[in-house]
Amino acid sequence: MGRRDHALTGTAKEMQRSAWKIAVYIRLSKEDGSDVSYSVINQKALILKYIEQLKAEEKEEYAVVDFYTDDGLTGTDDSREEFQRMLRDIERKRINCIIVKDLSRPFRNYADQGYYLEYFFPLHDVRFISLQLPFLDSYLYPETMQSIAVPMQGVVNDNHCRETSIKVRQVFNYKRSQGEFIGAFAPYGYRKDPEDKNKLMVDEEAAAVVRDIYRWFVVEGMSKMAIAKRLSSQGTLNPASYKRENGLKYENPNTHFDCTLWSAATVTRILKNPTYLGHMVQGRQRVKSYKVHHRIAVPESDWFLVKNTHEPIISRELFDKAQSLHGCDTRTAPQKQELYLFSGLLRCADCHKAMHRKKNGKYVYYVCRTYKDLSACSKHTVREEDLIKGVLETIRIQIQLVDSIAEIIQKIHDSPAAQVQSKRLAENLKNRERELEKATRWKDSLYESWQNGDISKEDYTRMKAKYEEQIEQLGKSICSLRKEQETLLGNVGPDSPLLQHLIQYNNIEELSRGLLIELVGVIFIHKNGEITIQFKCADPYISVL
């Protein structure tokens, strides 16, 4: 590109320098893939070659001040650290010339391009050079900056970003629907399979911490804040620090980079994450658009949930117990780590509000929170020692009745009518599962058929919706049959969870937090001090006792 004779415009004259301090900006996008023409090496070589050409043809001095490379980021990404560093260097007058391969490298979208080319760069007397699509030089060829080709190319680049975003999202959603992990970093407690980055493997060191968190919360009755403090005092790195310690370039914008301490919020996220059951849950957040990368929450009904994709860390029973505790009031005093015996379990029988624990000298008692805070309802006062005696006695009575109840249930369970019903349910369930597998297989094949051109986009959309509706209905039918089967074979059988739990605590001498969490859902306190216990896993036969 030889230099032409031309008269400098006002803007170009203002740019004249004794030396051009050059910033070479390079960006390699994820979407560029293996395209050699867009590689960092290729972009750098192309720009350096042009600088040598300028040095040979121009009288001015040219010096490359720095290279700014954003590697593996999309053009619409707000977090382009090197681009932001370049802007800061412009404001500090460290550079006065920018050279890029083409307009799609530095600018996120059409509006972005207009702002920098028409306002920011002229404001700071920065010379801008683009080598391709189209060739631009705001100093040597200022008239090219006003060419219609510039905004047109911006629109083309913008549209390309939009189409690429749609295609990438479609591919990602397909992978999510197949239970393939597509995140940049594995959840705490797991690591990516070195042979397949879309699969998760248990990271035993971190998994041990996850198990401790669940055990401390459910069995030992520790609050989430107490768990966080315990982990921090033990010197256990929080998930973000643990990732960095293991060589991952992980950054959490919500925490300081050098903070290794745990928080109650981090503990809560771990206690609520179904990934630890061996299920893949993805798509819980999305960006607003390909231009606006602000993340927003996605309704749970739209999440991608695929069960049994990897090895579980936590059992279903322990996970469910943890979930049941989230709705309880489990706050503790700052100096106390363990929860009180009845924390989150006591309710007023009339207004159903939580009971408030108070201490008067050596005596501890509970009073209705509505009465305490609003002077409404009534006290519903009960002393803790009386409550302990009453709950313990009720559980003992239940245990004494277990043997006779279990014997009666066993006879019902073994009856011919129950056996016939059990066989019918099993056959229906097997048929529905077979239909679901077939419908899922057909739905999964649609995407490939569309990509291969075997069916149109309209047919793909219509057939996909049809199969999704069929899959949803079959899923509901299967869930209903399984619940009916569980009721027949388990909940009213000798293997009833409540029966087994009661047998486990035979010869109980005193109450413990773990025992209450295991057996009790809620304890209602009546006005006269009487109590009503609602057990978990309520059994139709036990409930009448």
Q: Assess whether pLDDT exceeds 90 at residue 191.
A: yes
Tens digit of each residue's pLDDT (9 = 90 or more) over 306-352:
999 999 999 998 898 888 787 665 555 555 556 788 888 888 888 88
**By C-alpha distance, which of 310, 66, 106, 114 is closest to 203?**
310
Q: What is the pLDDT of residue 416?
A: 56
Q: Assess whether pLDDT exceeds 90 at residue 255.
A: no
Least confident of 40-49, 93-102, 121-130, 517-526: 517-526
Q: Assess whether pLDDT exceeds 60 at residue 1.
A: no
Tens digit of each residue's pLDDT (9 = 90 or more) over 502-519:
666 666 778 888 778 777
Highest mean pLDDT out of 80-84, 150-154, 272-276: 272-276
Q: Assess whether pLDDT exceeds 50 at residue 9.
A: no
Q: Structural domain boundaries of the chain?
A: 10-163, 188-326, 346-422+479-535
CATH ID of 188-326, from 3.40.640.10, 3.40.50.460, 3.30.2310.20, 3.90.1750.20:
3.90.1750.20
**By C-alpha distance, which of 424, 425, 410 is closest to 481?**
425
Q: What is the pLDDT of residue 542?
A: 40
Q: What is the pLDDT of residue 134?
A: 76
265 touches 225 (CB < 8 A): no
Q: What is the pTM of this model?
A: 0.53
Q: What is the pLDDT of residue 289?
A: 66
pLDDT band with cut points at 50, 70 and 90 for residue 541? very low
98 touches 121 (CB < 8 A): yes
278 touches 307 (CB < 8 A): yes
- Taken in order 325, 330, 334, 335, is the CA torsion positive or negative? negative
pLDDT band with cut points at 50, 70 and 90 for residue 421? low
Work out whether strand 136-137 and strand 127-132 pair parallel, antiparallel, or are unpaired.
antiparallel
Q: Assess whether pLDDT exceeds 50 at residue 8.
A: no
CATH architecture of 10-163: 3-Layer(aba) Sandwich (3.40)
The encoded tokens of residue 37 equal: 């023409």
Q: What is the pLDDT of residue 5?
A: 42
Percent of the chain with pLDDT over 70: 76
Q: Assess whether pLDDT exceeds 80 at residue 389.
A: yes
What is the average per-residue pLDDT within 471-493?
Answer: 72
405 touches 542 (CB < 8 A): yes
Tens digit of each residue's pLDDT (9 = 90 or more) over 391-411:
888 888 877 776 555 555 555
Give strand pairing partners of 52: none
pLDDT band with cut points at 50, 70 and 90 for residue 126? very high
The encoded tokens of residue 467 equal: 């199969």
496 touches 409 (CB < 8 A): yes
Rounded to 5 degrees, φ, ψ at 295 are -90, 140
What is the average per-residue pLDDT within 536-545?
Answer: 45
Q: What is the pLDDT of residue 287?
A: 76
Burial of 384 (0-12, 13-18, 19+ CB in 10 A): middle
Instruction: List Cβ<8 Å contacts ≥24 apart for 393-397.
Output: 394/531, 394/533, 395/502, 395/505, 395/508, 395/511, 395/515, 395/519, 395/533, 396/508, 397/545
Q: Assess whether pLDDT exceeds 60 at residue 36.
A: no
Q: Assess whether pLDDT exceeds 60 at residue 44.
A: yes
Tens digit of each residue's pLDDT (9 = 90 or more) over 159-187:
766 766 777 778 888 888 899 998 888 99
State how far Cα 152 lies from the chain centre.
39
| Domain 10-163 matches domain 188-326 at the CATH topology level | no
Q: Assess whether pLDDT exceeds 70 at residue 538.
A: no
Decide which of 488 and 6 is more confident.
488
pLDDT averaged over every residue in the chain: 80
**By C-alpha distance, which of 465, 464, 460, 457 is closest to 443?**
464
pLDDT band with cut points at 50, 70 and 90 for residue 543? very low
Q: What is the pLDDT of residue 67?
A: 96
Burial of 493 (0-12, 13-18, 19+ CB in 10 A): buried
